[in-house]
Amino acid sequence: MRLRAILLASGWAAVTVVGAAQEPATPRFRAGANLVHVDAYVAKNGVALTDLRPEDIEVYEDDKLQTIESVELIKARGPIPQSERINPTTVRDMQQDGADAARLFTLFFDRYHVSVAGSYHANKPIIQTLDKVIGQDDMVGVMTPEMSATSITYSRRTTNIERYVTDSWAWGIKDQVATLSPAEQAFHDCYPQSQYPSIAAEMVARMREQRTLDALDALVLHLEGLRPERKFVLVFTEGWPLYQRSDRLARPLNDAVPGQDPLRVNPLTGGIAKPGSPDTGRGMSTSYQACERQRAMLANIDHQTEFRTLLQRANRANVSFYPIDARGLIVFDQPTRFDLPPSVDQVFLRKRHDDLRMMALQTDGLAVLDSTNDIAGAMQRIFGDVGSYYLLRYYSSNTKLDGKFRRIRVEVKRPAVDVRSRPGYLAPTEAEARAAGGAAVGSKGRPGAVPAPPPPPPAVTRALDAIAPGRGNLPVRIQASGARSSIRAVVELDAATIKLPEWMSGGTLRLVIDPERGTTAATQTITTAIQPGQRSIPIAGTDAPLPPGRYSVRAELTPKAGRLPIQVTTFATVPAESADLGTGALALRRGPSTGLAYVPTADPRFRRTERLRVEVPLIGEGHTGTARLLTREGQPMPLVASFTTRVDEEKAQALGVAEVNLAPLAAGEYVLEVSIVKDGKTGLAAYGFRIIP
């Protein structure tokens, strides 16, 4: 309890009050199309590969090849001094920074199932590891079973966490007798050891395990709504028995029906009278029946099923568990119980560790158990193992809302490489899709059913899903749009990257446009110089014409003062000759930092002090159009968006231009939709963006 008191005294209480009022976000499945995120960790001889091309990677769902929408190489930057790390100051900023972090770590201290010795051994490795491995783009938070998931404070600084575990070195209460809560003490008062041996102790153990599993389940739900990318949960625990139904615990006591001989509680003192004791006449009220109800409930739990369900939810939410038994090399599971034969104790220990290994295996994590006493080294390997990875996105070709498990397999076309990714996910059900504001499913023909609103157009759906890659830590971003026989693109360096010493003298951008497999088009390469201080590099189009089809667009940026390039990849489609509209839209921003000029941008995050302009390639002449602003649910907003046309003289490319003032908008996600009309036919293009504080 001391750890919890320190957390509250240090300012976590304020976050708890604010966070508790917020509903956990629900994952969106728009228009019946499930955008799947897959984190692929690719290594050769234990070293992460960072030079893969999109054509080197294939994703299969239930053995069917999927079309990859985007490929990002995520590399966590190293740590910086604590004094230079900037922490969010509000709950909204913390949630936004958590969604934008390169890696999001949660340290789950399972106080109920860690001994004093275990917590003592864990503290030093935590202190030694966090400051060394938490990078400047990472966020880390702490949770215990007594906390609400919405009250977790994520930050870039680790000093507070180190202070917590130092001041509360005995945070594990598994073997502490004097740490019973009032509810747990009531069990002992209801069922004295002398009269009912072991009943109260087993009820306390079962209730603590229930609280731990409930807390982990709430954490998974909270993290699922926070970000689609992978979330890492380091679970410091010594494992669980995973209780099931117990007829012995549910048996009638003293051959009496449960609930007879009620226990009486004095509301003035809180004292509990033993069964059969005389009434004092001071307002004693019954509560033994409440104990009996708890006994019946705890006797019928099935934590093995709940545990398997938890792992399924974590897998679907892209949460990886890293269970850590900080005791290191151990011989006995319960060294203080001399009544257990060594063989039985070994069975208990093996069962706990097997469950923890399954927890890591099914969520693509790693279990640190009795194989080493070097917990600090093992933790550093965990953080290093997830330092570089590829974030893949694809729309599942299976659009059924059946709630079934779908297997994912990632393959790399290079010899002798190790590839790790989550094994699959649970598809949404019809009810989940309706609750998330997705497609109108299952309402037609049902008596009394309220028809669901029509789904937004596919262009709007993809624009909303494209916001996800806009994280604050990416060193470089890219957006591309298909025009007639050409591809336009914007490549943008992050503000923190451009300030690094190797970029002070500028660099070189090499844009490689590769056709998708099965086409005969040639690869095209565009090379341009990056001037010192230049962040945004627009590419107006290709020099040679491109035939219709889908292309990967890979940007390689090399600083003059460095040798290693930064790579980022996206995809674009060159429309057919008969089309009237290009595919995709590119954005420009104007604000206090740009003056009166509009600057091309690949970052979908904007502030209210800026204006947004979106440009869509037009094919041919005679276009008219309109623009409107939509909410993330696809509903129009009463905000004026203008539409004009212009011609890019460099490439003789006609463009439809939509523009909107962002000042009236609150923080959140929006879509600027452009409707183009030509010869009586209407085409849609959309750009998704996020307003940040």
Residues 6+ apart with CB under 8 A from 674: 585, 614, 616, 625, 626, 627, 643, 656, 658, 684, 685, 686, 687
CATH number of the domain enclosing 448: 2.60.40
Cα 565 vs. chain centroid, distance in angstroms? 28
CB atoms within 10 A of CB 448: 4
Give the model's pLDDT for residue 265.
47
Query: Averaged over 95-108, what is the pLDDT?
Result: 78
pLDDT, tens only, 168-219: 667 888 877 667 888 888 888 888 888 888 899 999 999 999 999 999 999 9
Q: What is the model's pLDDT at position 23?
A: 34
What is the average pLDDT score of the chain? 78
The verdict on residue 571 lying in a domain is yes
Lowest-confidence region among 339-343, 575-579, 625-629, 636-640:
339-343
By residue range, what is the domain housing residue 430? 33-74+387-455
Q: Are 237 and 215 in contact (CB under 8 A)?
A: no
The answer, yes or no, to whether residue 148 has pLDDT greater than 50, is yes
Per residue in 580-620, pLDDT tens?
888 889 999 999 888 889 999 999 999 999 999 999 999 88
CA distances for 362 relative to 225, 448, 486, angstroms: 20, 41, 44
Q: Are residues 318 and 341 in the same domain?
A: yes
- Residue 668 resides in a domain: yes
| pLDDT, mean of residues 330-354 | 65
Same domain, 527 and 443: no
The domain that contains 226 carries what CATH number? Answer: 3.40.50.410
Query: Does any domain span residue 446?
Result: yes
Q: Same domain for 312 and 445?
A: no
438 lies in the same domain as 470: no
Give the pair of three-digit tokens for residue 357.
Answer: 């290994």
Q: In what order do the strands lie in the sheet with 476-483?
A: 476-483, 486-493, 536-539
| Average pLDDT of the segment spanning 233-257 | 84
Residue 527's pLDDT band, with cuts at 50, 70 and 90, is very high
What whole-number percentage of the chain has pLDDT above 70? 74
Q: How confident is the model at residue 282 (pLDDT cuts 50, 70, 90)?
A: very low
Closest Cα to residue 229, out of 372, 116, 70, 91? 70
Asked if residue 261 and residue 236 are part of one domain, the reply reads no
pLDDT(129) > 90:
no
Q: Is the pLDDT of residue 538 over 90?
A: yes
State how many domains the chain has: 4
Averaging pLDDT over each range in 36-50, 279-293, 472-486, 548-562, which range is the top one?
A: 548-562
Is there a single domain that holds both residue 313 and residue 433?
A: no
- pLDDT above 90 covers a percentage of the chain that reads 26
Q: Where a domain ends, among 401, 424, 455?
A: 455
pLDDT at 167 over 90: no
The reply to whether 400 and 310 lie within a common domain is no
The answer to whether residue 300 sits within a structural domain is no
Q: Note whether residue 200 is domain-resident.
A: no
User: Of the residues 410, 432, 455, which one is the last residue of a structural domain?
Assistant: 455
> Is 163 within a domain?
yes
The pLDDT, as a whole number, for residue 127 is 72
pLDDT score at 380: 67
Residue 255 has pLDDT above 90, yes or no: no
Q: Give me the mean pLDDT over the 88-92 stretch.
A: 63
pLDDT given for residue 673 in this prediction: 92
> 143 or 128, which is more confident?
143
Residues 54 and 134 in one domain: no
| Region 672-685 average pLDDT | 88
Decide if 289 is inside a domain: yes
Q: Looking at residues 86-99, what average pLDDT do you find? A: 65
Higher pLDDT, 48 or 550: 550
Q: What is the mean pLDDT of residues 492-509?
A: 88
Least confident of 296-300, 401-405, 617-621, 657-661: 401-405
Q: What's residue 30's pLDDT?
A: 39
The pLDDT, as a whole number, for residue 71 is 84
According to the model, what pLDDT value does residue 267 have?
A: 41
Give yes or no: residues 65 and 81 share one domain.
no
- Residue 476 to residue 233: CA distance in whole angstroms: 27
User: Which has the closest alpha carbon to 140: 153, 128, 159, 154?
Assistant: 154
Please indicate whether residue 426 or residue 436 has the higher confidence score (pLDDT): 426
Q: Write down which residue in 427, 455, 483 finishes a domain.
A: 455
Residue 331 sits in the same domain as residue 364: yes
Give me the pLDDT at residue 77, please.
Answer: 64
Distance CA 138, CA 87 (A): 11
Domain co-membership, 381 together with 391: no
Statement: residue 681 has pLDDT above 70: yes
Cβ contacts of 116-120, under 8 Å, gap ≥ 24:
116/170, 116/172, 116/173, 116/174, 116/175, 116/176, 117/172, 117/327, 118/172, 118/174, 118/236, 118/238, 118/325, 118/326, 118/327, 119/169, 119/170, 119/171, 119/172, 119/236, 119/326, 120/169, 120/170, 120/172
Looking at the predicted structure, is the pLDDT value of residue 17 above 50? no
More confident residue, 310 or 281: 310
Q: What is the pLDDT of residue 340?
A: 56
CA distances from 670 to 24, 453, 454, 507, 602 (A): 20, 18, 18, 34, 16
Q: Based on the domain organization, do 412 and 470 belong to the same domain?
A: no
* Res 395 pLDDT > 60: yes
Residue 359 maps to a domain = yes
Q: Which range among 297-301, 336-340, 349-353, 649-653 shows the weakest confidence by mean pLDDT?
A: 336-340
R_g of the chain, CA atoms, integer Å: 29
